Structure 1
Amino acid sequence: MALALVAGGCSQDEYVAPPPGTTSDVADPAAAADTLRDLQAAIRAGDGAAAAALGADPRAHDLLSAVAVNAAALELSDVTLRYVTETGRTSGGDAWDGQVAITWRIPGLDRASARAELPVSFADHGTSISAIGGTGARLPLWLSAPLTVERQGQVVVAVAGHGAAARGYLAAALRAVAEVRAVVPGPGGLVVEVPADAEGLQRALDTEPGQYSAIAAITAPVDGSQAPGSPVHVFLNRTVYDDLDPVAAQVVMTHEAVHALTEAVGARQAPLWLVEGFADYVALRDVGLPLTRTAGQIAAQVRQQGVPERLPGDGEFDPTASHLGAVYEAAWLVCVTLAEHAGEGALVDVYEQVRDGGDLAGALRQHAGWSEQDLTAAWQDRLAGLPAVAG
């Protein structure tokens, strides 16, 4: 199943820059600033050749050319690059590492610019660049490798590498948007980023190795910030996603689209059973799968351990936790139970009110005429009545 967790740094609210390094006799901040200014101009112009000319070696030529081409394909705006400080020496007598502040935005899809600081390795006394990114630092996908970009209407898919796979991701994303808007009307588009592999996903989100190894997709701010308006995209873990059957893959894509299109990532006060359960409610709404598949894991758990005493807690949604599938199925059934009692419209109203900071108890009373205890009891009855449990 998919998981909507924000991959942040030390603070969820702001980036804290590292302390400045000691300026060496090699570093030339003025030259580095000029080089970044030239790279910024090349990126804004989509000029791969001009960007490549700033590379220190063939590998850097290829990367910088790809960065400019990626930016053009994504139609990026608000691209800025600013030298911040030296962070250390690298190999070579005229090379050093620096920290660079960068902004970028996909116009029409991102409400505000993403902001990040990332390592850049300078060479030739700062007149060229040998590498972008480093260990333990977030590396935006468009700055990491050549991309294949597919776009239709308000949906953009960016895939590391070349090939026809991007078209399949685009089709799933387009269907996901339609399925979400059938339940929750509203404007807005969707951006899906697909790193080449699990390591690429780790770099794009700056996470610990293996943190999302079993997760098919994540919805997260592209720069790790939870500041209002920070761009939120869907990231696919193609190692898992590509092995799913078509129905399961579409469920994952739609689930994540719910998070992105309804701004669920910023819903800090909403319980995860509501955030995740609602996303699965929308994703499974028109699929027509039997309960043996959509609730098989929670049914097996109920058979072994009995009906849970309470609704799923936030800690149970840890991506590394055991029985994660059962937790998601349980959350989905909470939302199904609520919709069966008060109607789909009431479920949407409860979701939106709580997502926007409203009190869960008040939302349940207002839209469903239930207390949380009433909901819990009805959900427990629903679990006990599952065919694999009651039978």
Structure 2
Amino acid sequence: MAGLSLALVAGVLAFWLRQDDDAGTPRVLDSPSARQDLAAAALADLQTAVGARDRARLHPDAGELAETAVDNAEKLRVAGFTVRYVDEDAALTATLPDGQWAAAVDTTWRFAGYDPREAHAEVTFVFAREGDHAVLVDVGGGGRRTPLWLATALNVSRTPQALVMAAGDQPVNRFARQARVAVRAVGEVLPPWRQKLVMVVPESDEQLDGVLAADPGEYAEIAAVTTTVDGSLSPSAPVHVFVNPEVFSGLRRNGAQVVTTHELVHVATGAATASNTPLWLLEGFADYVALRDATLPLSVTAGQVLAQVRRDGAPRHLPAGNEFDTHTTHLGASYEAAWLACRLLAQTGSEQDLLRLYDEVSDGAPVGAALQQVYGFGEKELVQRWRRELERLAR
């Protein structure tokens, strides 16, 4: 009986350790815990290599994507990079080719000299088994945000005030020139700001959706968006400008510059986390700074809202939050209306009065009270003056 028991044990061990005819590798490596061990080792190598900005720290067969991430890290001066395996994403794994699996990975990083603190996001990493180690084959998907620098090769431009990264054939030098002009223009209006400009330019709008974990087409009508890297409203989260290349490439030079400067205003004023500021003031102020020195005619800068006024009369209220939704049919007119309200305030008092109003409201003061304190009239009076201005300009 003892010999039979030993034979049974030996048979069980042989079953689990024998070569799998289909995969050609030990069946034990197919278990989730074994995959986690392999992925954790690959992530540890990646963390070390990125931290040292040295490809030689990677496994000799780490794969092209891991090497690309290290190269990008050197160009971008990535610091504070950590990766921790959280769990396998079974639903996403089921859609992948045999031998690959997806996992949620807790990730932190920052761009030294530009981000005041680390970004923190759960990112999807896709691995494949190669013999006794795991290879990183993809980053992104699963409804999680995708750091562009981990997902594809980048061209990078840096100045003391702006970092620009562009994927594929996107013209990084063009964006860098616009960034320099924007920094100068914003500096003429605003006091020195803490957060520097970081522009992220994906290769396509589909890639932008992945970077922001957005629904397909959510930003189809938007040239650029300023938001926290992790999507939170935490004031400590790094804030970057994310460009929609499909829309941006269709803009003329002046239009592209206005967009870049507008977005830098949001960065400089912390607008990505200023949840209490009404959008007409938030967006109108950014456009006021962006258009401050522009010589474009009103037919370009306010053509849509003035056409609405000629057709339907002046709106009875300042544009509200839902009128800035990316899917609204009159998005351009809402931005123009907000800009004209802020321009009117600067003309009624001064540019410094407008800046003071913006600061008061950003710090939590109600709009009506802040208007009364700075201008001596409330929101109702502002709407009346704004409507009269729209009617005058529409004649």
Normalising by structure 2, what TM-score?
0.87
After superposition, where does 1:237-252 map in structure 2 within 5 Å? 237-252=244-259
**Does the residue aligned with 2:242 lie in a helix, a strand or coil?**
strand
Q: Is the 8 A contact 1:94 1:123 kept in 2?
A: yes
After superposition, where does 1:1-391 map in structure 2 within 5 Å? 25-28=31-34, 29-48=36-55, 50-51=57-58, 53-55=60-62, 61-88=63-90, 89=93, 95-124=100-129, 127-162=134-169, 165-188=171-194, 189-386=196-393, 389-390=394-395
Give the Cα separation in 1 of the matches to 2:145 and 2:324: 24
- Residues 80-111 of structure 1: CA distance to partner in whole angstroms, max 9, x if unpaired? 01111222246677543222111001122212
> Which amino acid is the alignment partner of residue 194 of structure 1?
V
> Which amino acid is the alignment partner of residue 152 of structure 2?
A
Q: Is the 8 A contact 2:76 2:111 kept in 1?
A: yes
Q: Is the 8 A contact 2:229 2:240 kept in 1?
A: yes
Q: Is the 8 A contact 1:350 1:364 kept in 2?
A: yes
Per the TM alignment, residue 379 of structure 1 is displaced from its structure 2 partner at its CA by 0.3
The structure number with the bigger radius of gyration is 2
Per the TM alignment, residue 162 of structure 1 is displaced from its structure 2 partner at its CA by 5.0
The count of corresponding residues between Structure 1 and Structure 2 is: 360
- Residues 171-199 of structure 1: CA distance to partner in whole angstroms, max 9, x if unpaired? 10111011111111113321001000101
Per the TM alignment, residue 240 of structure 1 is displaced from its structure 2 partner at its CA by 1.0
Give the Cα separation in 1 of the matches to 2:169 and 2:61: 24
Give the Cα separation in 2 of the matches to 1:80 and 1:234: 23
Q: Is the 8 A contact 1:49 1:65 kept in 2?
A: no
Per the TM alignment, residue 126 of structure 1 is displaced from its structure 2 partner at its CA by 5.3
Give the Cα separation in 1 of the matches to 2:264 and 2:157: 17
Q: Is the 8 A contact 2:100 2:127 kept in 1?
A: yes
Per the TM alignment, residue 79 of structure 1 is displaced from its structure 2 partner at its CA by 0.3
Q: CA RMSD, aligned part only?
A: 1.8
> Which amino acid is the alignment partner of residue 62 of structure 1?
E
Q: Is the 8 A contact 1:47 1:65 kept in 2?
A: no
- Residues 101-138 of structure 1: CA distance to partner in whole angstroms, max 9, x if unpaired? 11001122212110111222233265333322224221
Task: Look up the match of 2:19.
Answer: none
Give the Cα separation in 1 of the matches to 2:100 and 2:336: 53
Give the Cα separation in 2 of the matches to 1:206 and 1:171: 28
Q: Is the 8 A contact 2:65 2:136 kept in 1?
A: no
Per the TM alignment, residue 353 of structure 1 is displaced from its structure 2 partner at its CA by 1.2
Give the Cα separation in 2 of the matches to 1:234 and 1:204: 12
- Residues 23-63 of structure 1: CA distance to partner in whole angstroms, max 9, x if unpaired? 972432333222211111111122235447353xxxxx222
> Which amino acid is the alignment partner of residue 193 of structure 1?
V
Give the Cα separation in 2 of the matches to 1:378 and 1:69: 55
- Residues 214-238 of structure 1: CA distance to partner in whole angstroms, max 9, x if unpaired? 1111101111121121010011111
Give the Cα separation in 2 of the matches to 1:288 and 1:319: 27
Q: Is the 8 A contact 2:87 2:105 kept in 1?
A: yes
**Does the residue aligned with 2:188 lie in a helix, a strand or coil?**
helix
Give the Cα separation in 2 of the matches to 1:268 and 1:54: 47
Give the Cα separation in 2 of the matches to 1:82 and 1:310: 49
Q: Unmatched 5+ residue regions in structure 2?
A: 1-28
> Which amino acid is the alignment partner of residue 173 of structure 2?
R
Give the Cα separation in 2 of the matches to 1:328 and 1:83: 43
Give the Cα separation in 2 of the matches to 1:364 and 1:251: 27
**Does the residue aligned with 2:84 lie in a helix, a strand or coil?**
strand
Give the Cα separation in 1 of the matches to 2:68 and 2:56: 10
Relative to structure 2, which stretch is displaced further, 74-83 or 291-300? 291-300
Normalising by structure 1, what TM-score?
0.88
Structure 2 CA distance for partners of 1:71 and 1:375, relative to 1, 3 Å:
same
Give the Cα separation in 2 of the matches to 1:234 and 1:130: 27
Relative to structure 2, which stretch is displaced further, 27-36 or 288-297? 27-36
> Which amino acid is the alignment partner of residue 174 of structure 2?
G
Relative to structure 2, which stretch is displaced further, 250-259 or 351-360? 351-360
- Aligned-pair identity in percent equals 42
- Residues 289-323 of structure 1: CA distance to partner in whole angstroms, max 9, x if unpaired? 12222111111100111111111111100111011
Give the Cα separation in 2 of the matches to 1:52 and 1:24: 21
